[in-house]
């Protein structure tokens, strides 16, 4: 990363910090929100479905906006929408209106996240891109460690359930100011002309992209399910006090920062796909262990290992997927993020229904099944990519 690319890369990283601030406090905010609105836990979990739906909508919008508007225009508009949603959230005491408010906030952070991913894809190539994407996840995980602690402390002090979201609003304000003065890579028509002058897509590339997209959806759904329900499992099934149970989210995202740094170092020496397969395998093994544990102390220890070894998966999958088409067009990057957004939106919907039918513990088995699906689909994607590359090379020699 050079001095010329650092300011734009810093804004890209900030977009991930903001997303983390919204989505990683869900498990901690769930019970205070339920008490605030006088609703059950499964019904209150609808809040996070609306946040996920907004995030998905923001990413969907981003597939089209970069052909018409600059990164600066997109990010400024998105974060002003966030401010409007936050104001509405603070003003209401009705759950349906709060759902609308958090939908707007999700819409904003989804659009901002897409802009951040486009910035990274345009600034960096090859392994440097994988390392840069891992850096954004490092920031995400660092915020995932800090935010639940801050939100939990605020709730413990008697602050309202939206306090953590107001804290994120401070980061949004700072980003709006930064976006106004920092230069960004070109997108839109000029970038499209340059992209169209490149090499054609490799045969079989779209199958690989589709498989990676499915893997992103199942992975994010599994991770989000764990983050939302692990505190409730600890508190209601394993007898852990509420404040301590909430720290399990920090136990997941805290060590993940170290894991992402480790992954970035490994990627500079080992092919990213090898690192990805190792992380996928650990995700399956550790999510299975978490689903079977009955000891709270061991649950925290395994969660630590879970966060350390698996959170690099997301950006490695994005990086591999973005390599499938020449010049990594913004539409490809945002499509991959869109599929991950589907996982974010689906997680509270699906897991809440499972919890209603089979109890809180079903949420952990749900997470395990999703990690298994991610391993299988992503392995198929890597096989598809290898076959496609081999066929293309043979065709070039023929």
Which class for 294: exposed (0-12), middle (13-18), buried (19 or more C-beta within 10 A)?
exposed
| DSSP at 237 | T
Arithmetic mean of pLDDT over the chain: 86
87-91, 301-305, 337-341, 355-359: least confident range:
337-341
C-beta of residue 222 within 8 angstroms of C-beta of residue 273: no
Q: Which of 45-49, 128-132, 233-237, 391-395 holds the top average pLDDT? A: 233-237
The structure tokens listed for 304 are 């630590």
pLDDT in the model for residue 327: 67
End-to-end CA distance of the chain: 40
Mean pLDDT value of segment 18-26: 87
Nearest to 331 by CA among 206, 172, 179: 206
pLDDT in tens, 113-168: 889 988 888 888 767 777 888 888 788 778 877 888 898 889 888 899 999 999 99
pLDDT at 194 over 60: no
C-beta of residue 78 within 8 angstroms of C-beta of residue 25: no
pLDDT category of residue 99 using cuts at 50, 70 and 90: very high
pLDDT in the model for residue 193: 43
Superfamily of domain 6-397: MFS general substrate transporter like domains (1.20.1250.20)
Alpha-carbon distance 219 to 382, whole Å? 16
**C-alpha distance from residue 93 to each of 32, 44, 45, 98, 227 (Å):** 13, 13, 16, 7, 25
Alpha-carbon distance 313 to 216, whole Å? 9
Residue with tokens 């392994």: 127
Between 68 and 298, the higher pLDDT residue = 298
Contacts of 163 by beta carbon, 8 Å cutoff, 6+ apart: 151, 154, 155
The structure tokens listed for 126 are 């090859």
pLDDT at 189 over 60: no
C-beta of residue 165 within 8 angstroms of C-beta of residue 105: yes
pLDDT in tens, 210-256: 999 999 999 999 999 998 899 989 988 888 887 788 788 888 877 88
Nearest to 339 by CA among 396, 385, 288, 381: 381
Delimit the domains of the chain by residue range.
6-397
pLDDT category of residue 195 using cuts at 50, 70 and 90: very low
Q: Which of 131-145, 194-208, 294-308, 337-351 holds the top average pLDDT? A: 294-308
Phi, psi of 255 (to 5 degrees): -65, -20
Alpha-carbon distance 172 to 80, whole Å? 9
pLDDT in tens, 24-35: 887 788 889 998
């Amino acid at each position: 990363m050079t001095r010329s690319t650092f300011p734009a890369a810093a804004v890209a990283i900030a977009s991930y910090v903001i997303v983390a601030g919204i989505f990683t406090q869900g498990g901690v905010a769930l019970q205070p929100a339920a008490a605030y609105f006088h609703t059950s836990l499964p019904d209150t979990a609808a809040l996070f479905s609306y946040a996920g739906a907004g995030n998905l909508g923001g990413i969907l919008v981003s597939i089209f906006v970069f052909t018409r508007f600059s990164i600066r225009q997109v990010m400024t508009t998105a974060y002003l929408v966030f401010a409007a949603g936050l104001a509405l959230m603070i003003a209401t005491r009705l759950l349906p209106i709060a759902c609308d408010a958090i939908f707007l906030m999700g819409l904003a952070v989804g659009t901002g996240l897409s802009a951040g991913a486009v910035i990274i894809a345009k600034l960096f190539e090859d392994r440097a891109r994988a390392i840069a994407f891992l850096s954004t996840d490092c920031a995400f995980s660092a915020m995932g460690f800090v935010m639940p602690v801050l939100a939990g402390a605020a709730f413990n002090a008697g602050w309202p359930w939206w306090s953590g979201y107001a804290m994120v609003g401070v980061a949004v304000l700072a980003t709006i100011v930064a976006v106004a003065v920092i230069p960004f890579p070109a997108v839109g028509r000029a970038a499209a002309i340059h992209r169209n002058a490149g090499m054609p897509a490799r045969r079989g590339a779209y199958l690989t992209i589709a498989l990676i997209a499915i893997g992103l959806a199942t992975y994010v759904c599994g991770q989000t399910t764990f983050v939302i329900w692990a505190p409730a499992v600890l508190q209601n099934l394993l007898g852990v006090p509420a404040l301590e149970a909430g720290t399990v989210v920090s136990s997941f995202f805290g060590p993940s920062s170290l894991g992402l740094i480790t992954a970035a170092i490994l990627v500079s020496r080992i092919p990213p796909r090898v690192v990805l397969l190792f992380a996928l395998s650990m995700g399956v093994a550790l999510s299975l262990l978490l689903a079977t544990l009955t000891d709270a102390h061991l649950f925290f220890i395994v969660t630590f290992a879970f966060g350390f070894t698996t959170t690099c998966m997301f950006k490695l999958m994005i990086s591999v997927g973005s390599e499938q088409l020449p010049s990594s067009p913004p539409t490809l990057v945002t499509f991959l993020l869109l599929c991950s957004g589907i996982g974010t939106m689906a997680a509270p919907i699906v897991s809440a229904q499972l919890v209603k039918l089979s109890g809180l513990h079903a949420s952990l088995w749900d997470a395990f099944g999703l990690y298994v699906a991610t391993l299988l689909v992503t392995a198929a994607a890597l096989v598809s990519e290898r076959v496609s590359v081999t066929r293309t090379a043979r065709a070039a020699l023929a």
